Structure 1
Amino acid sequence: MGRTTDGEVAEFVELRRRQAGAFSRAQAKAHRITDKVLQRRCRARQIQRVHSGVYVDFTGPLPWETRMWAAWLACGPETALTGETALRRYGVTGDWRDDRIQLALPHSRRVDPRPGVAISRHRDLASLLHGSREPRMVRLDVALLVTASADPDVAGRAAVLLDACRQRRTTPARLLAELDSFTQLPGRRMLRQILGDAAEGVHSFLEQAYLRRVERAHGLPKAGRQVRASTTAGVVYRDVEYPSYGVVVELDGQAGHADSISRWRDMTRDNAAATSGKLTLRFGYQLVSQPCETAFQVAAALHYRGWRGSPRPCSPTCLVVTPSFHRGGEDFIPNR
Structure 2
Amino acid sequence: MEEASARSFGELRRRQAGAFSRAQAIAHGITDKVLLGRRRGRQVQRVHTGVYVDFTGPLPWETRMWAAWLSCGPSAALTGTTALRRYGVAVDSGDGRIHIALPHPRRVRQKAGIVVTRHRRLSSLLQPSREPPIVRLEVALLVVAGATADVSGRAAVLFDACRERRTTPARLLAELESLPELPGRRILRRILSEAAEGVQSFLEQAYLRRVERAHGLPRARRQVRAADAGAVVYRDSEYSPYGVIVELDGQAGHADAASRWRDMTRDNAAAASGKLTLRFGYRLVTDPCGTAAQVVAALHYRGWPGHPHPCSAACPLS
C-alpha separation between the residues in 1 aligned to 2:10 and 2:169? 42
Runs (4+) of structure 1 exceeding 6 A deviation are none
Mapped contact 1:81–1:102 kept (Cα < 8 A): yes
Corresponding residue for residue 75 of structure 2: 78
Corresponding residue for residue 248 of structure 2: 251
Higher helix share: 2
- Kindly indicate whether residue 20 of structure 2 is the aligned counterpart of residue 23 of structure 1: yes
Corresponding residue for residue 317 of structure 1: 314
C-alpha separation between the residues in 1 aligned to 2:229 and 2:129? 45
- Kindly indicate whether residue 206 of structure 2 is the aligned counterpart of residue 199 of structure 1: no
How far did residue 191 of structure 1 move? 0.8
> 1:196-254, CA deviations, whole angstroms, 9 ceiling, x for partnerless residues?
11111112222122111111111111111000111115111101111222211111222
Distance verdict in 2 for CA 1:143–1:191, change over 3 Å: same
Corresponding residue for residue 147 of structure 1: 144
Tell me whether 176-185 or 213-222 shows the greater mean CA deviation: 176-185
Residue among 130, 155, 164 paired with 1:158? 155
How far did residue 82 of structure 1 move? 1.0
Corresponding residue for residue 325 of structure 1: none
> 1:151-182, CA deviations, whole angstroms, 9 ceiling, x for partnerless residues?
11111111111211122222111111121232
Distance verdict in 2 for CA 1:97–1:268, change over 3 Å: farther
How far did residue 43 of structure 1 move? 2.7
Mapped contact 2:243–2:275 kept (Cα < 8 A): yes
- Kindly indicate whether residue 45 of structure 2 is the aligned counterpart of residue 48 of structure 1: yes
Corresponding residue for residue 137 of structure 1: 134
| Superposition TM-score, scaled by structure 2 size | 0.94
* Partner SS, residue 17 of structure 2: coil
Structure 1 residues 1-336: aligned runs within 5 Å: 3=3, 9-232=6-229, 234-318=231-315, 320-322=316-318
C-alpha RMSD over aligned residues? 1.8
Unaligned runs of 5+ in 2: none
* Partner SS, residue 256 of structure 1: helix
How far did residue 3 of structure 1 move? 4.1
Mapped contact 2:289–2:317 kept (Cα < 8 A): no
Mapped contact 1:2–1:11 kept (Cα < 8 A): no
Tell me whether 264-273 or 154-163 shows the greater mean CA deviation: 264-273
How far did residue 2 of structure 1 move? 8.3
C-alpha separation between the residues in 1 aligned to 2:191 and 2:110? 35
Mapped contact 1:233–1:268 kept (Cα < 8 A): no
Unaligned runs of 5+ in 1: 323-336
> 1:32-61, CA deviations, whole angstroms, 9 ceiling, x for partnerless residues?
122232223223332221111111122222
Instruction: Supply the AA of the counterpart residue of 1:16.
Output: R
* Partner SS, residue 219 of structure 2: coil
How many correspondences in the alignment? 318
Distance verdict in 2 for CA 1:39–1:289, change over 3 Å: farther
Mapped contact 1:103–1:119 kept (Cα < 8 A): yes
How far did residue 87 of structure 1 move? 1.2
Distance verdict in 2 for CA 1:190–1:79, change over 3 Å: same
* Partner SS, residue 253 of structure 2: coil
> 1:79-101, CA deviations, whole angstroms, 9 ceiling, x for partnerless residues?
11111111111122333432211
